[in-house]
Amino acid sequence: MSALAHRRFLKMNGAGNAIVVLDLRGSDLTVAAGDVRAIARHPASAFDQLMVIHDARTPGTDAALRIYNTDGSEAGACGNGTRCVAYAMLDDPAMARPAESGRLTLETRGGLVSVKRMAERAFTVDMGRPKLKWDEIPLAEPFQDTRRIELQVGPIDAPVLHSPAVVNMGNPHAIFFMDRDPATYDLARIGPMLENHPVFPDRANISLARVTGPDTIVLRVWERGAGLTLACGTAACATVVAAARLRMIGRGATVHLPGGDLVIEWRADDHVLMTGPVALEWDGTFDPALFAGAA
């Protein structure tokens, strides 16, 4: 029997991004890739990202996070999921601890992330500094200007998509800017091909973006390891950074995603702040049968 059997979880969403929060603090349990895939398959616990809370490892932090995609792979950051974790650690009766206040510092594979409560069900996450050099993203070959790289979909003389911006916001992102509604493109077909393109050795999140005003962007996202999603916080951050570098907007925007809106600010100190909502859908426990045959 899996050690995760009967463990309690929260099913949440951040701007529509489906999130499961699992608290493993106080134990030495870890989550295997097969367990992740099993949890993702069940309708009651299906997710875009699984956020697993572990005991803090670094002095001055409140917890360590491991973030999993539906295919069992790990992500370096998830802004929408981090807001959900903040809610769980601050408000959930079974997870909240008296010492924790309205601010948290969490350790992820992508670095330290701080979270601040803005309202009862809204939080601001400091996503840190964007990485903009080709080998930080990373890309398989040098590109001196990552505001646009040579990559296209379709015929050479009439590409469907071309010249994306690339940014790392804890995860690698490629953003294609366009003049029409991103929903008119078949991202479910294009996304997997671009996610696994040889130019992205660690794969990439693929975003289609349209700047609709001086501080508004419409965005659709294919998430690495998860697929089409209603929202992606790191993609929203990467898109605002990319659009600002191209002088399409200033250093902040409201990003409209299918699941809701995120407010992104790229501050003068180079940190990117993301503000958005969280919603608790239900809590439950993992049925032991869920993990039968997980590998």
Residue 160 lies in a domain: yes
What is the domain count for the chain?
2
d(CA 217, CA 210): 6
Evaluate if residue 294 carries a pLDDT over 80: no
> Each residue of 1-30: pLDDT tens digit?
678 989 999 999 999 999 999 999 999 999
Statement to judge: residues 113 and 185 lie in one domain: no
Statement to judge: residues 85 and 50 lie in one domain: yes
d(CA 282, CA 287): 15
> Each residue of 49-86: pLDDT tens digit?
999 999 999 999 999 999 999 999 999 999 999 999 99
- Check the CA dihedral 173-178-181-183 and report its sign: negative
Range list of H helices, the chain: 33-41, 79-91, 187-195, 233-245
- The tokens for 114 are 């701080």
Residue 89 lies in a domain: yes
Evaluate if residue 110 carries a pLDDT over 90: no
CB of 134 within 8 A of CB of 148? no
Among 53-57, 152-156, 184-188, 261-265, which is the least confidently predicted range? 152-156
CA distances from 246 to 216, 242, 267 (A): 15, 6, 16
Residue 136 lies in a domain: no
* Parallel/antiparallel/unpaired status of strands 103-108 and 63-69: parallel
The pLDDT of residue 44 is 94
Statement to judge: residues 17 and 120 lie in one domain: yes
Evaluate if residue 277 carries a pLDDT over 90: yes
Statement to judge: residues 20 and 115 lie in one domain: yes
Statement to judge: residues 121 and 97 lie in one domain: yes
Average pLDDT of 134-162?
94
DSSP 132: -
Average pLDDT of 26-39?
95
Contacts of 269 (CB under 8 A, 6+ apart): none
Statement to judge: residues 193 and 114 lie in one domain: no
DSSP 91: H
- Token pair 């601050």 is found at 90
Statement to judge: residues 20 and 71 lie in one domain: yes
Statement to judge: residues 182 and 226 lie in one domain: yes
The pLDDT of residue 99 is 57
Statement to judge: residues 266 and 283 lie in one domain: no
Evaluate if residue 133 carries a pLDDT over 60: yes
Domain that holds residue 170: 152-270
Statement to judge: residues 265 and 282 lie in one domain: no
The pLDDT of residue 170 is 92
Residue 243 lies in a domain: yes
Residue 3 lies in a domain: no
The pLDDT of residue 155 is 85
Evaluate if residue 89 carries a pLDDT over 60: yes
For residue 285, the SS3 value is strand
Statement to judge: residues 177 and 218 lie in one domain: yes
Residue 145 lies in a domain: no
CATH number at residue 287: 3.10.310.10
The pLDDT of residue 159 is 87
DSSP 291: G
CB of 9 within 8 A of CB of 284? yes
The pLDDT of residue 158 is 83
Statement to judge: residues 36 and 112 lie in one domain: yes
Residue 182 lies in a domain: yes
Residues forming the active site: 78, 232
Evaluate if residue 295 carries a pLDDT over 60: no
Among 94-108, 114-128, 210-224, 247-261, which is the least confidently predicted range? 94-108
Average pLDDT of 205-214?
98
The pLDDT of residue 40 is 95
> Each residue of 218-260: pLDDT tens digit?
999 999 999 999 999 999 999 999 999 999 999 999 999 999 9
Q: What is the DSSP string of the chain?
A: --TTTT-EEEEEEETTEEEEEEE-TTS-----HHHHHHHHHSTTT--SEEEEEE---STT-SEEEEEEETTS-EES--HHHHHHHHHHHHH-TTT--TT--SEEEEEETTEEEEEEEEETTEEEEE--PPB-STTTTT-SS--S-TTS-S-EES-TTS-SEE--EEEESSSEEEEEE-SS-GGGS-HHHHHHHHHT-TT-TT--EEEEEEEEETTEEEEEEEETTTEEES--HHHHHHHHHHHHHTTSS-SEEEEEETTEEEEEEE-TTS-EEEEEE-EEEEEEE--GGGGTT--
pLDDT band at 100 (very low <50, low <70, confident <90, very high): low
Residue 146 lies in a domain: no
Among 146, 152, 106, CA closest to 130? 146
pTM to 2 decimals? 0.92
The pLDDT of residue 200 is 98
